[in-house]
Structure 1
Amino acid sequence: MKNTARRLLLAAGIAAIAFAAPAAAQDAGMKRWKQGTGWGWVWGPEDEVGALNEMTDASRAAALRLAAQGRAYDLGLPYDRNSYRWPGHNPGEIMTFRTPEGVARQRDLPFTTAEQGNTGHTRWHSSAMFISDNVATQIDGLAHITHGADNHWYNNFRADQWTGDFGVRKADVTTIPPIVARGVMIDVAGQKGMEALPSNYEITVADLEAALRAQNVDVTPGTVALVRTGTARFWGENGSDHAKIGQHDTAGIGMAAARWLVEQKGAMMIASDTSGLEVLPPRPADSQFVGGSFNPVHVYLLVNQGVHIGEFHNMERLAADRVYEFAYVATTNAIRGTVAGTALRPLALR
């Protein structure tokens, strides 16, 4: 009975977030964000996009006006089979499938032979990839995290209805629209004068406010908020120093900071330079806020609020140049059924 009651209370809490009446726009033309509540399940029962619905031609044009200097910052991290990853995801392998030498030796494609006219010896390289949809620089799709005994994700899509043999069939990565939005980096490590935040450090609301004050910028509704811990500075060529990266990778935002960014500031997406955005292990109160979870901020953002999560975004050049406001541009690989855009190269344009 206790577990049943808890589930009912959790469902009621989600419903309160999901079906709150949309408020009038409070900033930047937002149609569905409500201060004190955030986003939620407010775009109808078939919606698979979440808070990114709020982008418009006007908001994209406004964001691009921030790119007056024409300078591009690559936020992507290079990835290979040795790169650091969260242990819940498979390693990747890049396997050479065809080589110039192999094409010549195999002779299995007649058009590649001299007898068929290929006297100039045109050949090629191609690779087969076995790779997780959740590695390196990525954007978590809304189907990535499920919660509850019914394994539901955003907008109450459930695994027993929408998980298939070839990936999810609702809110997969193909539903993430091209993202062009105002971006703000919140350099918490820089404001504290640290190379990187220590293990298990919880970024608080006070930390975010202090960094924003120091930077003289603010998060406004419709912003992509990027929180810097300094972890990406240890990635190097391929993220192979697992011990050093892992030492700092557990720093991140707690539930209070996540709620502040979404419910009070209107962040449309939240990203960081770690593999998981949130502090680990979670604080007990954070876990219980969503009824018990090892990833409560993920549950809150992806499932309850429809807010996408960016991970392993490289903000080191932004931090070095003290660039805090920019046009954030990202598109994901459109592989149907996958739950995250993986090994990406988002841009900060200034």
Structure 2
Amino acid sequence: MSDKLTKQSIEETFRELSNWGRWGEEDEVGTLNNVRPEDIVAAAGLIRRGKVFGLGVPLDQPLQSVPHKRWNTIHTFMQDGADVATGMFEGRLQYADDAINLPTHSSTHWDALAHVFNDGRMYNGHDARRFGSKGFPVNGIEKMANRMVGRGVLLDVARFKGVDSLEDEYAITNAELDACAAAQGVEIRAGDFVLIRTGYQERFWSRGDWAGHTTGMAPGLHFESCYWLKEKDVAAVAADNYAVEARPAEGEGFSYPWHGVVIPAMGLTMGEMFYLRELAADCAQDGVYEFFFCAPPLNLPGGSGSPINPQAIK
């Protein structure tokens, strides 16, 4: 990692890359505006084999592996086989019924534009301090419920670098993103959903233990990628690590400096903890790194994020 970013440099990047007002003062979806209807139609044409890849980590996996403000999914049954066995149902019709309890950012998920603030400022100039525990009437995840569809592109940086997983703290530069795309023969276009594979998550799958997964050091995007993402006008970015950006990535006054720019300044939606292993293997086999992508969030008014099971279809 480079030297610690100063508050001044982060704020300069914030101002330089800000999309406030770009799509109007009332806009609440940010860079998703880069996806045009014709882009979605074209993306549908990428489906040639009808092969579907689910990119969500199963909800029974303990990705939140240490005491934390977020917990792993709690899955309980109100009605199950025992109720059938005890004869509590009348007649021949019985059923099962269950419930889940989970933080919206505890597994594979999208961050809403209401998730991150910079000095109390939310995307498009809203003051986050105006809103309380009932959720956010602006920039909530529900505004994206019909927007997460289009052309997906995988940048398999780990495979490009010839490793199973990038090293902890490894920060992927803009030059490496471009070189990876060129090596794969794929072009990044405006309105794309760009998925970054670092190999980080696969370490935990291999050892069968998620200890330290969401608290330790991790490879990811370099802070400078803010500029790359703005230049490419992508719709959203996601990765197989827990923060997209490399960790740690300390900045003066910011424990997550990249987050402090891309969400509140650029209005860029980001996805974390994507499961990319099987998709990456298939892309490497057929040499095709573009696909139809669909990943709608829950229609959760005022939510700061949403669990998802993204789909890549080739």
* TM-score, length of structure 1 as denominator length: 0.78
Partners in 1 of 2:248 and 2:74 — Cα distance?
A: 29
Backbone CA RMSD of aligned residues:
2.7
- Indicate the residue corresponding to 1:274 in structure 2: 241
- Indicate the residue corresponding to 2:42 in structure 1: 62
* Per-residue Cα deviation, 1:65-114 (whole angstroms, up to 9, x for no partner): 1112222121111022633469452333112222243478696xxxx43x
Change (3 A) 1:168 1:158: same
* Per-residue Cα deviation, 1:97-154 (whole angstroms, up to 9, x for no partner): 22243478696xxxx43xxxxx21x222222322101021111110011120xx2211
Which residue, out of 66, 89, 92, partners 2:70?
89
Compute the displacement of 1:337 (Å): 2.4
Which residue, out of 39, 58, 61, partners 1:78?
58
Is the Cα–Cα contact under 8 Å of residues 198 and 248 in structure 1 kept in the other structure? no
Compute the displacement of 1:316 (Å): 1.0
SS at match of 2:41: helix
Which residue, out of 187, 192, 216, partners 2:185?
216
- Indicate the residue corresponding to 1:49 in structure 2: 29
* Per-residue Cα deviation, 1:227-266 (whole angstroms, up to 9, x for no partner): 11012324549x9612374698611001112321x23222
Compute the displacement of 1:173 (Å): 1.1
* Per-residue Cα deviation, 1:305-338 (whole angstroms, up to 9, x for no partner): 0110011112111221224111111111112222
Is the Cα–Cα contact under 8 Å of residues 65 and 211 in structure 2 kept in the other structure? no
- Indicate the residue corresponding to 1:311 in structure 2: 272
Compute the displacement of 1:214 (Å): 1.2
Aligned residues: 301
Partners in 1 of 2:217 and 2:40 — Cα distance?
A: 32
Compute the displacement of 1:174 (Å): 0.5
Range with bigger deviation, 131-140 or 317-326:
317-326
Compute the displacement of 1:181 (Å): 1.4
Percent identity among equivalent residues?
Answer: 27
Partners in 1 of 2:270 and 2:70 — Cα distance?
A: 16
* Per-residue Cα deviation, 1:15-43 (whole angstroms, up to 9, x for no partner): 5544xxxxxxxxxxxxxxxxxxxx44412
Is the Cα–Cα contact under 8 Å of residues 76 and 314 in structure 1 kept in the other structure? yes
- Indicate the residue corresponding to 1:25 in structure 2: none
Is 1:329 aligned to 2:290, yes or no?
no
Compute the displacement of 1:272 (Å): 0.4
* TM-score, length of structure 2 as denominator length: 0.86
Partners in 1 of 2:225 and 2:76 — Cα distance?
A: 41
Is the Cα–Cα contact under 8 Å of residues 184 and 224 in structure 1 kept in the other structure? yes
The one-letter amino acid of 1:212's match is A
Is 1:265 aligned to 2:232, yes or no?
yes
Which residue, out of 88, 92, 95, partners 1:124?
95
Is the Cα–Cα contact under 8 Å of residues 63 and 214 in structure 2 kept in the other structure? no
Which residue, out of 254, 264, 275, partners 1:293?
254
- Indicate the residue corresponding to 2:111 in structure 1: 140
Which residue, out of 167, 172, 180, partners 2:149?
180
Partners in 2 of 1:320 and 1:81 — Cα distance?
A: 22
Range with bigger deviation, 124-133 or 184-193:
124-133
Partners in 2 of 1:101 and 1:188 — Cα distance?
A: 49
Change (3 A) 1:93 1:205: same
Is the Cα–Cα contact under 8 Å of residues 229 and 274 in structure 1 kept in the other structure? yes
Partners in 2 of 1:81 and 1:328 — Cα distance?
A: 24
Change (3 A) 1:90 1:41: farther
SS at match of 2:264: helix
Give unpaired runs (5+ residues) of structure 1: 1-5, 19-38, 114-118
SS at match of 1:168: coil
Change (3 A) 1:310 1:85: farther
Range with bigger deviation, 240-249 or 58-67:
240-249
**Would you tell me which structure has more helix in proportion to its own residues?**
1
Is the Cα–Cα contact under 8 Å of residues 60 and 181 in structure 1 kept in the other structure? yes
* Per-residue Cα deviation, 1:185-209 (whole angstroms, up to 9, x for no partner): 1111001111111111111122212
The one-letter amino acid of 1:80's match is D
Is the Cα–Cα contact under 8 Å of residues 75 and 347 in structure 1 kept in the other structure? yes
SS at match of 2:265: helix
Partners in 2 of 1:144 and 1:327 — Cα distance?
A: 27
Which residue, out of 129, 140, 159, partners 2:128?
159
- Indicate the residue corresponding to 1:27 in structure 2: none
Give unpaired runs (5+ residues) of structure 2: 1-6
- Indicate the residue corresponding to 1:197 in structure 2: 166
